[in-house]
Amino acid sequence: MTTNPLHKLMNPASIATFGAGNNFLKMGTMHALSITKDGYAGKFYPVHPKDATVLGHKAYRTVEELPEAPDLALIVIPSEHVIATIDSLGKRGTRYAIIITAGFKETGESGRSMERELIETAERHGIRFIGPNCMGIVNTAISLNTTVMELRDKPGHLGFASQSGTYITQSLKYLGKRGIRFSKALSVGNEADISIIDALEYLGEDEQTKAISLYIEGIRDVPRFLDVARRITPHKPVIAQYVGGSKAGARSGKSHTGAMAGPDHIYDGIFRQAGIIRVDSIEDLYGQGWALATQPFLRGRRVGVITNSGGPGTAMSHVCEGGGMEIPVFSEKLQESIRPMVLPHAPRGNPVDITFSFDMNALTTEIPLLVMESGEIDGIVLHGAMNSGFVKALYPHIADLAQGVTIEDMVNELNANLNLSRSAGLPREYGIPMLLSSFLDRDDNLTEFYEDNDIPVFDSPEKTARAMVTLNRYRLVRQREAHGAPPPVRRSADAASIIERARKAGRAALDEHEAKLILAAYGAPITEERLVASADEAAAAAEALGYPAVLKACSSEILHKTEKGLVRLGLASAADVSAAFEDVQKAAGTRVPAIVYRMVKGSRELVAGMTRHEGIGPCVMFGLGGIYTELLRDVTFRVAPITAADAREMTRELRGSGILGEFRGMPAADIDEIARLLLALGAVAQNHPEVREIDINPILISGAHPVAVDALIALEA
């Protein structure tokens, strides 16, 4: 276990509040009410300058009057008083705080200055704190709730960390109505001290937490985020929603908590690199996170679909299959065992559709049991479990015909043969996840029972299926190659020398030949070529290297050679090469060197590169290349340095990754060689911070081997 400060901050034996009084409309009082009324058993010390008692508890006018140094301080006072309060707490011996107060760096330069002073004061006393500008924390293991909303639900298994306080405060009642229960939840606010990365690390170490959901507007320390996440995701699922990838989202996040955002496609790569599953909405963070937290890990991708209606069964099958899962046809043996439980015409081959039947025991227990025992599936999605909610909806139409039969009578009749405890225990008994779909909420006794017993119930078939797909995505995360720390790569003196000469000359870029030499110094496959300064040298180079030949102008001042007529392909003789050299000189309008190499044959084109992003660092890119690169945008990213496993994953993530396999008579591309090229990009980025951008387009697959036939390296100003 690490020395993460949250282990102690989340488990205080005593709490002092600053800003809580007896006016229940004040925010500080709302936070204090949650502490005192939701079951926290520790000591509570309200600090108030005037009131003798606060919420029935003895109050203290100053920090110095407190009977002891509280383990945790909860601060909800005007921002201009926060620093002095932290100073007093530090002198008294308090070492942990939650600063709810806003008005710091999210407000502009004056706020940033005040936040820096806050950090310095806390560091001087060894105080670790969450916030400012946050909404508190929840630890259900000790019934501690420091948010403003009531929390009375029993402890759960979903850990939640958020850069928005709303999602652990306003959402508590929403979650309670859906049977979703936190283990721990943290609103990190401005992250002036404790960050969302610290929260992730803590939740990864917390035994109560079985899955982690993250709401992210920006990550400040990407290398540490990757390191922490990679230690967690092989054994505990992590899902994340990122909302800073658009201009509007980034602007809002910066004004909200001061978060520094990054491009959406880069965060896609960060999450994949970390083994984190990205989701699209807060609803998915809660619902799919709860499914991951409560259900056994999927062992395969086969799904059994059980329903009382054809439409929902079809929808669930469609979404699961579209998400990469299989809906296998059940064996004749299994179908025969199901036959007595369904109507003669009912489908039972998968999906199993009991059609309009009130036999809830067959739907919820007997059929799922047979399917799990068969060994033919790895997970179950089930629609239509309902009882009291259905009766209540139906009763107004039949009341006149029921002849004194009450709603309770009908519910009891339908309940008579139910074995819900066995049904809810099936996932744990067989190690097979089961997710439910129902249009009836907790007003239905079956929905309520399943949710209270950690079986997720979604309000549509599609949401249920998407959650199962997410369980399968985590199965694939667990099967990933091991991602150790990237090995250090020795800095190339030759590459450094080339870059230094260019910088001394005041150049903003290297020429193509220089760029290729740098890439080759780190193991990238490049064309075997010669730099020439005359027609005779060009002809001699072609004779030595072989035909057909390629001749290109080579100057750091010329970036787009093809458009300017500075490239000649398919040259078949020395005379052709000599003439091409002179033609290129005329097209350039000035004398320029050229490069000559034997033409690389290959119809498959790829692109790779590196670019640096503020707040993130160097990122390696790989994708389909050639003239359609910008049109197709079939690319993927990783943050450097990368591992060989990262590089191989990148080759599998492209929508058009099939082109790297055996294709139209061409052999499969050598993935290990492609990986070495991508590793070279990461190594250049790490060893040469002067390199701002690298573009290799195209990379031709010659036979099975990748060859970089064009390259550009731009330098920092």
Sign of CA pseudo-dihedral 68, 73, 74, 77: positive
Residue 252 predicted with pLDDT over 50:
no
Identity of the amino acid at 305: V
Same structural domain, 655 and 611: yes
Kindly state the helix (H) or strand (E) to which residue 685 belongs, with its residue range. Answer: helix 671-687
In angstroms, rounded to a whole number, what is the distance separating the alpha carbons of residues 658 and 670?
13
Same structural domain, 155 and 41: yes
pLDDT (average), residues 142-154:
94
The pLDDT tens digits of the residues spanning 408-441 come to: 888 887 777 788 999 999 999 999 999 999 999 9
Q: Which of 224, 226, 230, 260 is nearest to 242 (CA)?
A: 260
Residue at a domain's end among 476, 507, 539: 476
Same structural domain, 320 and 447: yes
653 φ, ψ (degrees, to nearest 5) = -85, -15
pLDDT value of residue 407: 82
Dihedral angle at the C-alpha atoms of 677, 682, 688, 689, nearest 10 degrees? Answer: 140
Classify residue 190: in a domain, yes or no: yes
In angstroms, rounded to a whole number, what is the distance separating the alpha carbons of residues 204 and 598?
54
Q: How far apart are the first and last CA of the chain?
A: 44
Residue 542 predicted with pLDDT over 90:
yes
* In the block, residue with structure tokens 């990754």: 657
The answer for residues whose C-beta is within 8 angstroms of residue 26's C-beta and 6 or more apart is 19, 20
The answer for residues whose C-beta is within 8 angstroms of residue 180's C-beta and 6 or more apart is 156, 158, 286, 287, 289, 290, 451, 456
pLDDT value of residue 284: 97
Classify residue 487: in a domain, yes or no: no
In angstroms, rounded to a whole number, what is the distance separating the alpha carbons of residues 687 and 69?
49
Residue 456: which CATH number?
Answer: 3.40.50.261
Classify residue 311: in a domain, yes or no: yes
* In the block, residue with structure tokens 């387009």: 697
Residue at a domain's end among 292, 309, 337: 292
Classify residue 483: in a domain, yes or no: no
Classify residue 694: in a domain, yes or no: yes
Tokens of 644: 């060989």
Mean predicted lDDT score pLDDT of the chain: 93
Classify residue 1: in a domain, yes or no: no
Classify residue 96: in a domain, yes or no: yes
The answer for residues whose C-beta is within 8 angstroms of residue 134's C-beta and 6 or more apart is 98, 99, 100, 165, 187, 188, 189, 190
pLDDT value of residue 218: 93
Tokens of 320: 């699961």
Same structural domain, 270 and 302: no
pLDDT (average), residues 321-342:
96
- Name the domain count of the chain: 4
Q: Is 258 helix (H, G, I), strand (E, B) or coil?
A: coil
- Identify whether the C-beta of residue 494 lies closer than 8 Å to the C-beta of residue 522: no
For residue 529, what pLDDT band results from cuts at 50, 70 and 90?
very high
Residue 524 predicted with pLDDT over 90:
yes
In angstroms, rounded to a whole number, what is the distance separating the alpha carbons of residues 612 and 87?
40
- Identify whether the C-beta of residue 556 lies closer than 8 Å to the C-beta of residue 531: no
In angstroms, rounded to a whole number, what is the distance separating the alpha carbons of residues 339 and 620?
56
Residue 661: which CATH number?
Answer: 3.30.470.20
Identity of the amino acid at 539: A
N residues, the chain: 717
Tokens of 675: 């990986």
Same structural domain, 53 and 27: yes
pLDDT (average), residues 526-542:
97
Same structural domain, 10 and 89: yes
In this predicted structure, which of 189-198, 591-600, 618-627 has the lowest mean pLDDT?
Answer: 618-627
Q: What is the DSSP letter of 160?
A: E
Q: Which residue has the higher pLDDT, 82 or 403?
A: 82
Same structural domain, 278 and 225: yes
The answer for residues whose C-beta is within 8 angstroms of residue 286's C-beta and 6 or more apart is 158, 171, 174, 175, 178, 180, 213
Residue 541: which CATH number?
Answer: 3.30.1490.20
The pLDDT tens digits of the residues spanning 265-312 come to: 999 999 999 999 999 999 999 999 999 999 999 999 999 999 999 999
For residue 250, what pLDDT band results from cuts at 50, 70 and 90?
very low
- Identify whether the C-beta of residue 628 lies closer than 8 Å to the C-beta of residue 656: no
Residue 577 predicted with pLDDT over 90:
yes
Residue 601 predicted with pLDDT over 70:
yes
346: Cα separation from own chain's centroid: 41
Same structural domain, 284 and 307: no
Same structural domain, 391 and 540: no
pLDDT value of residue 152: 85
In angstroms, rounded to a whole number, what is the distance separating the alpha carbons of residues 172 and 170?
6
The answer for residues whose C-beta is within 8 angstroms of residue 169's C-beta and 6 or more apart is 135, 136, 147, 148, 149, 187
Same structural domain, 434 and 303: yes
The pLDDT tens digits of the residues spanning 471-491 come to: 999 999 999 988 777 888 999
Phi-psi map region of 621: left, alpha, beta (phi>0 left; psi -120 to 50 alpha)? beta
Neighbours of 501 (CB within 10 A): 12
Same structural domain, 107 and 159: yes
Helix, strand, coil percentages, rounded to 5, for the chain:
40, 20, 40
In angstroms, rounded to a whole number, what is the distance separating the alpha carbons of residues 292 and 212?
9
Classify residue 488: in a domain, yes or no: no
**In terms of residue numbers, what domain contains 260?**
6-292
Between the CA of residue 659 and those of 281, 480, 701, 709, what are the distances in Å? 33, 22, 10, 19
Residue at a domain's end among 476, 505, 521: 476
pLDDT (average), residues 638-652:
95
Percent of the chain residues topping a pLDDT of 90: 84
In angstroms, rounded to a whole number, what is the distance separating the alpha carbons of residues 706 and 606?
9
Between the CA of residue 255 and those of 107, 188, 340, what are the distances in Å? 7, 15, 62
Same structural domain, 241 and 313: no
Identity of the amino acid at 298: L
